[in-house]
Amino acid sequence: MSSPAQHPAHAAPDPRRWLALFILLIANFMNLIDVTIVNVALPSMREGLGATDSQIEWVIAAYVLAFALGLLPFGRLGDIVGRTHMFLWGVAGFTAASALCGLSPNIEFLIIARVIQGLAGAMMTPQVLAIATVTFPPHERGQAFSLFGLSAGLAAVCGPILGGVLISAQLFGMDWQPIFLVNIPVGIAAVIAGYFLIPRLPGHSALKNDFVGIVLFGLGLVCVVFPIIEGRAYGWPLWAFAMIASGFVLLVAFVLWTRARAKAGLPQLLNFDLIANRDFMFGAFVITVFASGIPGMFMVISIFLQSGFGFTPLESGLTNTPFSVGVLIASLIAGRFGSHYLRGRLAASGALLAGGIGALHFIIAGSGDSINHWSFLPPLLLAGIGLGLGFSSLFQLVLRNVPHRDAGAGSGALQAFQQVGGALGVALVGEMFFGSLATGFAAGNAPHAVFTDAASFALWYQVASFLLVLLLVPFFKSGGGQGHGQGAPARHVPIEA
């Protein structure tokens, strides 16, 4: 994926640029809030659609995995056909997919609609900052880009609360459906306004996409994630392990294919220079581990509170809100540090996340037949501050050792690894949580005890993953390198809470 073209210094700024930015922010906000809002609705979906444990995992994982698979190829496609066209198609697709999600008659239909929604989200997300970069002159870019960070923080805070309000309101007799249907009028307005207000950015038809690379990478990931989610339901048969092994074989084949494309001077899905960059791949691994901790955690907490202890969706969303507030606070503070103290900030992030979630583990493990939601506030606030500190410093740490020519592709690739981590985390945490639930109910234990044991057990994954990040911090290079620098603004990193 190429870096976006810069605004020509001699060109007059587009008079519509701030209106165009507002549309970009609205679409981006709609995408980001959808990530957080769904967690609150999972128990309602499970009950209303009669979904199995693995199907509920797929409601999250299908979106995240489709989003991960689409980021790089749709980023390149935006270069080819024009980023404004790709953005508008992405918003239209996201809006249509939201309608399909809200009108789903069964869980299978909902999962398919979530795949479409994830792909549409991947169509519009890579284009957003690229359009803003071209639209705004250099002296206005900092102010414009700061609004993306603010919108991400607001989406993290608003998502759980809005989800709880919409579900509890029972609008027109509906349950969880409004969390998706609310996107329809917003998306339609964004497409219409965007068509008239966002400047048309020309494409480069000479560029090509690597379709074989897309297939190898996509099949490889699906072959790894699918059996982790479905294996438990089938008793972990031999085909599940064979599928995981074949997934790793496909990913190796993807690397070899990409190397051959690079030698031949042909376009690659992921620049082989990045794959061959040990610092970048180490950073990508750390980002994958880091990102794997959060989506699965909120799946567990929402089901634990609502299905285990009878919380309403609104009560559940409000209980989770301190985490999102912590993310917003830390994001605002972290921006003042710029590129300073990156390793220290990442170490503090890992410690806060491991400590906060570890404390939450003991709070849940020590609960009896009732839950004091106020006891969740301190650990979730600390963990949220940790997440807000971590993502910005982690991306900067990795990208500063990436050459300028690969900065745009590297940033997009790291977002893909972030989403891959989220999908793997949902699969692994779901295996721990739902497996423990099944064992507890089979043993005839009391329902509160079953949910308490399962949730506290599943949280060990988050503690372990963030402790691993903390232990890996010293292995990042301490020098500045020749990475992102001042001339290439980092792409926006969606925060998932």
Nearest to 25 by CA among 198, 179, 178, 201: 198
| Angle value at C-alpha 425, between 77 and 282, nearest 5 degrees | 70
Contact 42, 107 (CB under 8 A): no
pLDDT single digits (tens) 8-31: 445 667 778 889 889 998 988 888
Centre a 10 Å sphere on the Cβ of residue 321 and count the other Cβ atoms it contains: 23
- Tell me which of 412 and 177 has the higher pLDDT: 177
As given in the structure block, the two tokens for residue 178 are: 């409004």
Cα torsion 177, 182, 187, 188 to 10°: value is: 100
Percentage of the chain surpassing pLDDT 90?
52
pLDDT single digits (tens) 123-168: 998 888 778 878 888 777 767 776 776 777 778 788 888 989 999 8
Domains and CATH numbers, the chain: 1-207 (1.20.1250.20), 270-497 (1.20.1250.20)
How confident is the model over 171-195, as a mean pLDDT? 92
Cα 92 to chain centroid, rounded: 20
Query: How far is 287 from 290, CA to CA, in rounded Å?
Result: 5
Instruction: Check residue 329 and give its pLDDT.
Output: 87
pLDDT single digits (tens) 346-361: 999 999 999 999 999 9
Who's near 375: CB < 8 A, 6+ residues apart? 363
Helix intervals (H) in 338-406: 342-365, 377-399
Checking if the pLDDT of 112 tops 90, the result is yes
Checking if the pLDDT of 488 tops 80, the result is no
Give the C-alpha distances (Å, rounded to integers) separating 283 from 21, 125, 266, 333, 475: 31, 22, 26, 23, 10
Checking if the pLDDT of 486 tops 60, the result is no
Instruction: Check residue 127 and give its pLDDT.
Output: 86
As given in the structure block, the two tokens for residue 446 are: 């009391």
Nearest to 30 by CA among 111, 115, 107, 117: 117
As given in the structure block, the two tokens for residue 257 are: 């294919």
Contact 437, 451 (CB under 8 A): yes
Instruction: Check residue 10 and give its pLDDT.
Output: 53
Report the chain's terminal Cα–Cα distance, integer Å: 27
Give SS3 for 5. Answer: coil
489 confidence band (pLDDT: 50, 70, 90): very low
Identity of the residue numbered 359:
A
Least confident span in 75-84, 185-194, 261-270: 75-84
pLDDT single digits (tens) 306-340: 999 999 999 999 998 999 899 888 877 876 777 78
Average pLDDT, the chain: 86
pLDDT single digits (tens) 362-400: 999 988 788 888 999 999 999 999 998 888 788 888 888
441 confidence band (pLDDT: 50, 70, 90): very high
Instruction: Check residue 407 and give its pLDDT.
Output: 64
How confident is the model over 34-60, as a mean pLDDT? 90
